[in-house]
Every structure is written in C-alpha cells, then in structure tokens.
Chains A and B, each alone.
Chain A
Amino acid sequence: MSELAHDKVSSLDTLLRTTPSIWRGHERYAASSGVATGYAALDAALPARGWSVGGVTELLCDTHGIGELSLLLPALSEITTAGRWAALVNPPYLPYAPAFANAGVRLDRLLVVDSQHDKDALWAGEQLLRATHFDVVIIHVNRTTAQRQRRLQLAAEHSGSWSVVYRPASARDEHSPVAVRIALEMNEGRLALDILKARGGRISSLVIDPSAFDGPQGAEWPLKTARERCLEVAGLHSSINLRVV
C-alpha cells in the first residue's frame, strides 16, 4: 500500500519535473536542456546551464561593437554545424560572411531576413519560431511591447526553439514576459553581463574579458594591451570573473 502511494508521489514528481510548462519556485531549471554558451561562467550563472531552449532570451544593449554578438557565436556554430538552422532577423548592419565563417558558423544554415519595420521583424521572427526547423532566431528590434514579447515567448515554447531578442537598454525597467533577460554593457574594456531575470534561476552579474572571445571569433580578439599579453604568457590571466550578487 505504502509502496503504491510512494509510486504515485514519485510519478507526480516526475510529471512535475518533466513538464516544461510547470515551474516550481523552489528549484532551478536543472532538468530543462540548454545550449552551452561556450563561456563557463555564463553557463554556471544560467539556470539551464546554458541558453534556455524553448524561450526568449532578451539582450539589452545600446551600443554595437562590444561583443554582444560574439556572446552567441559558440552556440551559433554548434547549431549550424549540426545541420540545424539559425536565423538573423533585422540585423543592424550587414552580417559579414567571412567573420561568421571564421567563427565556424555554417553560412548556408544562417538565414538573414532584412525588414523595414520592427513589426515586420517580429512577425518574421514568429513565423521562423513556429517553423520547427530553426533552433535559434536572433531578432534586433528598436521597440517592442510586452505583448509582442509574450507572442514570441509562446511561439518559442511551442516549438521548443530559442529566440534571442536584442533591444535597447532603455527597456530595462519595462516588464517583459520572457525566460531570460540580460543587460550588456562595456565596463572598463570588458563586457559586463547583468542577468536581470532568469526563469528558474537567480539574478547575478558577471564580466567576460575580451580575450574570452578569441575562440569564438576564430581569430584573435582585436585589442590586447601589452600588459594583458604579458599576464597571459605568465599564466596569471583569469579570463572570466564571476561575481554573484
């Protein structure tokens, strides 16, 4: 009898753990799968031990050229070399093929979609998410609303794919019903990540040093001061500093 009861409890437990739409507040998203970010400190800070699949990750940043896209390169490379599709919707500049090729991204699996308006970009993003072929859909928008973000989040949940939305940092204080929100900014030559929200995880901050991008960029990250080079040679250099708030 008690065995039966125990069975029931454990099957309920399994159900609660394996159903992605049920989230229990006291535990982290340990079971749900993630795409490895390629940066150990970031993997550790995110509840899915990587980018959460089946949801939207919002990246808030105002300036381009701080390593905001390099952050995704390891995942992009992994997805495209596995023969799965990735999409880049409404990129602010021309995605430059040689650089992506350097980073190991399969170009014939990276779809670029240009659009005139944010509305079209979000529409295209949703179409791509609903199609099951695209593992990651990266969308750049200037303005969006919580309602539109919810549509993307639902589309991603539905198809189990991952969407990254870049939006301006001014949206930092707005409500957004997405799985993960990270604010990005340049801080003393390093990329500072501020995890504002992570469903099933905790908020934290971390810093990624430019030298960590060497691998993903496929070539040496542009700028290293003489001092940094010396430190690296001496083996004293720690590429990533993690600080949990």
Chain B
Amino acid sequence: MLWTALVFPSLPLECQVVAGDVATTNEERARAIVQQHGSRRSIMSCDDAARALGIRPGLTVKSALAIAPGLELIDFDEHEQAAQLAQLALWALAYSSRVTPHPPDTLLMEVQGSLRLFGGLDPLLARLHDDAVGLGLSLRLGTAPTPAAAALLARAGIERPVRTSRAIPLAIAHLSLDHLALEADVRQGLGRSGLSTLGQLSELPPASLTRRFGHRLVETLYRLDGRLPDPQTAIVPPPTFREAVDLPLEAESTAGLVFLLRRLLAALGGFLRSRDVGVRRLDLELFHHRHAPSVVSLRFLEAATDVAHLYRIATERLDGTVLIAPVTRLAVHASELAEVERAAPALLDGGKVPDASVEQVIETLAARLGSEAVYTASLSDDHRPEKAWQAAMLSRSTPPGDWPVRPLWLLRTPRPASRSLTVEGLPERIENGWWDADDVRRDYFIGRDEHGVHFWVYRLRHDPAQLWIHGLFA
C-alpha cells in the first residue's frame, strides 16, 4: 500500500479568503490566526504579509500587536476548521476511494489503487497540486508506504515519495522530532536528553525508551516503519450531497460567492466520482440575514459529472441573479442524482480534455439566456398552423416532411396586411379545432407585395375583407 498525506498548513487563513486572488488580499493587510491556550493567546499561523512584518507562529498576541499594530487577528475555530477539512476529504475522494481526515490539517489517502487511473504517482501528485492551487490552498504532500511516515514527510516538506518500507528509516533519519505529534513533556524530555532527530531516537533500545517516556513514543516510532499496524478509518461518502460554507464577510454581489462556490463544487466533484453518479439538478442556496434563503436551481439535460462544466453553468447563472440582500452563507445541494457511466481511463491517460458535449454547450447557453430560449422545434399532430410545431429539447425523431407549402418564418401573432398584396391561386382551407377554444376557420393564400416579398396570408371565413399575414417565404 502507498499512502499520500495532504497537509494544509494555512487552512484557517485560507478559509478566510473571500476573493480568488490570494496575493492581492495579502498585500492589503496582514492576517494571523490566534489560538487560545488557557489564558494565553498566541499566534498559530500567519500569512506572508504578516511574516514580512516579523510575526512568527508562537508569539503572544501582545507582542505580535506591539510589532505590527495593524495586524488583523482571527480567532481559530476548531469546528469551522474540521468542517473545512471534511469538505476537502470529499474533494480528495476524486483521487482515491480511501480518504481519512486527521484534524486539524491533514488528509491521508491510499493511492496505490489510483495509480493506474492517473497514469502513475507523479501525474497524480501534480494534479493534486494543480487542484489545490485552483482552490487557493497551499498544500504539502508526502508519500510513503505507511500513513504515519507519509504524514511525517508532508509536515517536513519532503515531497519525494518513499516507495518501500525498507527505505523509510533512511529517509526519515535526519528529520527533526518536531514534526512528530508528540506530547509536550515527552518532546521536552527528549530535548533535554540531547535527542533531536529521528535517527538518533531509533538507535536507542526500545525497552529503555518505553521505561523513560512511556509506551506511546515507541508505538509512534513503530507505526512509522510499519512494525505496528496503523489502521485508517476511511470516510464513507454520504448518500446525498449538501455542503455549506459561512462567508467570512457578507457578500454584497454574487461575484463574492464565486470563489467559495468553486471549493464547494470541488467537494461535489469528489462526491460524484466516489458514488459514480452525476447530478441532474443542483440547488445553490444563498442565505441572507433576516430574509428567507434564495435558491438558484440548475437543471442538467444529462447527469453532469464535470466540475468545470458545473462551475461554468453555476457562475453564469449567479451572474444573472440579483441579490435581495447580502449573502451570509452559501450551500450547494445536489437534489437529483443519476447514475452515469464513467469515461474509460484511457481518456484521462492521454491528458486530452474531451470536447464539451452538445448538451453542455446547450446548457451553457440556457444558463445565460434562459432555458425556454434554447430549443429544437418538432412537429406535432395538429393541422392548425400555430399548433403544428412545438419547442422540444432534443427529441430524437423527425417525421418526414410532407406538408403543403409552408413558410419558413411564421409570425407568432398574425398581423393585418396593410399593404396592397397580390393574391393568386386557389386557397388552402384550414378548418380545425372547433372542439377547443382556438377554433380556426381560415383560407390561406400566397401573397406578394410590390417589392416581390412573399407572404403566407389568410382570410377569416366570416370576415373575408381583411387579409392577415401569418408567415414569410424567406
């Protein structure tokens, strides 16, 4: 088995970013996340701007504010962070069916089973990186045959994968003990004994280590190289998808939602892949302060699985949505799911992006112009001109055309002919629909005006004096 650990070192900060462009936000102001330990409040992590001012993790809030008075402090919210990590775990399901979240900032996934699908480990890791950048997240990866070693490598920032268990001791020997999650007193005790790297620790007899520091330390060491089993409980994807995120700042316009939407849809993408389903209907729920939530529903002609397509449609629809009030919370609810067949792995291997299907193009148009504005016409079984056709989307049958002369353009509502028209030939009498409200009794002719334009005109049988124009022979 091969495990990859995903460590998100700046997750609390990155959850607070509203706009997609992380860089500009950083320039505007320095931010730091504050952690509470009893009565002591200290900096847990900070962004680059804060680091440039001299802020370091571990500083007390008082000294941090003395260095940088303008520093924006954000309280660490454990639940918020756990919820974010759970969403990221769903996203990670796109890459592996076995994903385990380890709060506060680590995901572990088994990747041996995914190698073939992604064409090897390197393409897989590269895609993870690209995805994380797209979501505005900084990500550290570590890959090793045991979960503990993978997490250790990721924390230490060593991305080069370790492929066999035998190579683990050598690969981690020079790493500092700080990267292990040890209890504080154990860590201090080791430091006082002059031990700082894993290599030094592994040379000592396990029995004496257990005597001095307790059995936990040795167990931790044994899990690293696989001498002790380290079972991981993989998350089970929920039967339905409904994820929400609170906005750090109320969004006045839908543009402020787009970035968070991308993260929610990334989670949806992993969910869809793990369940092998596509979404037919997606509800975007926008929560407001003191208003009922507004819902934007997206419907898809064929079950959609492509996150990029979902995102395109959703942003197009949000673009045209007027907010009744600022948005405080955004939820994505996949309310109708349908099973789909997955594309063969060969498609992914080539690195080729398949062309958007006709349905996807049509949905893109409908998202902006409205669903009733995009259609194909089909014939219906009625002789009345207005009812001889109907708008139908992608009906698969076309009866052969054996109609008498008909114009290419039909007026939605006939208009009285004002100009003098030359009418020739015998009329075609259409008399139909006496059984419903739209009774039609007309004599149709072909008319021509002085410019040579051809019209489809009719006279009402009870009022033969007036000619009505109903179509144009284009």
**Interface-facing stretch out of B71-79, B122-130, B181-189, B396-404:** B396-404
Separation in Å of the B319 CB from the closest CB of chain A?
12
Contacts of B388 in A (CB 8 A): 96-98
Q: Tell me whether A18 is interfacial, beta carbon within 8 Å.
A: no
Contact between A108 and B397, CB atoms less than 8 A apart: yes
Q: Tell me whether A20 is interfacial, beta carbon within 8 Å.
A: no
Contact between B379 and A98, CB atoms less than 8 A apart: yes
**Interface-facing stretch out of A46-54, A119-127, A232-240:** A119-127
- What's the Cα separation between A126 and B452 when bound, in Å? 34
Residue from A97, A120, A190 whose CB has the most chain B CB atoms within 10 Å: A97
Sample of 16 further A-B pairs with CB below 8 A, known A96-B407, A222-B446: A63-B453, A64-B409, A65-B409, A69-B408, A93-B471, A96-B406, A97-B388, A103-B401, A108-B395, A108-B396, A110-B377, A111-B376, A127-B365, A131-B358, A218-B401, A223-B446
Separation in Å of the A119 CB from the closest CB of chain B?
11
Q: Which of B369, B406, B455 contacts A99 (CB 8 A)?
A: B406
- What's the Cα separation between A111 and B394 when bound, in Å? 9
Q: Which of B361, B403, B424 contacts A223 (CB 8 A)?
A: B424
- What's the Cα separation between A63 and B195 when bound, in Å? 91
Separation in Å of the A123 CB from the closest CB of chain B?
7
Contact between B399 and A101, CB atoms less than 8 A apart: yes
Q: Which residues of A contact B (CB under 8 A)?
A: 63-70, 85, 91-104, 106-116, 120, 123-124, 127-128, 131-134, 186-190, 217-223
Query: Which residue on chain A has the smallest CB distance to residue B453?
Result: A65
Query: Which residue on chain B has the smallest CB distance to residue A190?
Result: B452
Residue from A94, A106, A116, A219 whose CB has the most chain B CB atoms within 10 Å: A94
Contact between B472 and A65, CB atoms less than 8 A apart: yes
Q: Tell me whether B255 is interfacial, beta carbon within 8 Å.
A: no
Separation in Å of the A193 CB from the closest CB of chain B?
14
Contact between A124 and B398, CB atoms less than 8 A apart: no
- What's the Cα separation between A211 and B132 when bound, in Å? 64
Contacts of A97 in B (CB 8 A): 377-379, 388-389
Q: Ordered nearest first, which 8 A-B pairs have the shortest CB separation?
A: A101-B401, A97-B389, A93-B409, A69-B474, A65-B472, A65-B453, A222-B446, A186-B452
Separation in Å of the B389 CB from the closest CB of chain A?
4
Separation in Å of the A168 CB from the closest CB of chain B?
15
Contact between B398 and A63, CB atoms less than 8 A apart: no
Contacts of B405 in A (CB 8 A): 102, 217, 219-220, 222
- What's the Cα separation between A222 and B446 when bound, in Å? 6
Contact between B378 and A94, CB atoms less than 8 A apart: no
Query: Which residue on chain B has the smallest CB distance to residue A216?
Result: B408
Query: Which residue on chain B has the smallest CB distance to residue A71?
Result: B474
Contacts of A223 in B (CB 8 A): 424, 446, 448, 454
Contacts of A66 in B (CB 8 A): 451-454, 474
Q: Tell me whether B331 is interfacial, beta carbon within 8 Å.
A: no
Q: Which of A109, A113, A123, A187 contacts B373 (CB 8 A)?
A: A113
Contact between B453 and A64, CB atoms less than 8 A apart: yes
- Show 24 residue pairs from A and B whose CB-CB distance is below 8 angstroms, ordered by the A residue: A64-B474, A65-B454, A66-B453, A66-B454, A68-B474, A70-B473, A70-B474, A93-B410, A98-B379, A98-B389, A100-B408, A102-B401, A103-B401, A108-B376, A112-B374, A112-B376, A113-B374, A115-B369, A116-B369, A123-B368, A131-B356, A131-B358, A134-B361, A222-B446
Q: Which of B368, B394, B401, B402 contacts A108 (CB 8 A)?
A: B394
Query: Which residue on chain B has the smallest CB distance to residue A112?
Result: B375
Query: Which residue on chain B has the smallest CB distance to residue A101?
Result: B401
Query: Which residue on chain A has the smallest CB distance to residue B359?
Result: A133
